[in-house]
Amino acid sequence: MKLINKILEYMLLIIVVLLVISIVIILFVGQYLIKVGVETAATKALNVGVDINDLDLSIFNGTLGIDGLVIKNPPGYNYKNLLEMGNCHLKIDIKSLLSETVKSTRLDLMV
């Protein structure tokens, strides 16, 4: 019986350590992974280059901040970029993320 309790204690300890490590990785690497994912998906969807300097996402607060968004023009246009945006801060209703329409309660743009 003592052996089973020891094994269960070690398994519980390993699970807790893995959870803590996962949370730390998500906090430090998650923003970068989201930024790269958004850039990659937008580039594929628009067929032009999309760059973001910094992305700040807070799921629990329902906020998204984008700093330095640049959408390039396709070849042959007079201007290099289609869109250049300085800062954008968006506050969304978290419950609406699971619905067809995402509702925004605030949008601040600085070009």
Q: What is the pLDDT of residue 93?
A: 82
SS3 content of the chain, % helix, strand, coil (to 5): 45, 35, 20
Q: What is the pLDDT of residue 16?
A: 95
Q: What is the pLDDT of residue 45?
A: 94
Q: What is the pLDDT of residue 105?
A: 79
How many angstroms separate the CA atoms of 33 and 30, rounded? Answer: 5
Q: What is the pLDDT of residue 111?
A: 66
How many angstroms separate the CA atoms of 50 and 99, rounded? Answer: 27
Per-10-residue mean pLDDT of the chain, 111 residues long, equals: 86 95 82 88 94 86 88 92 90 82 79 66
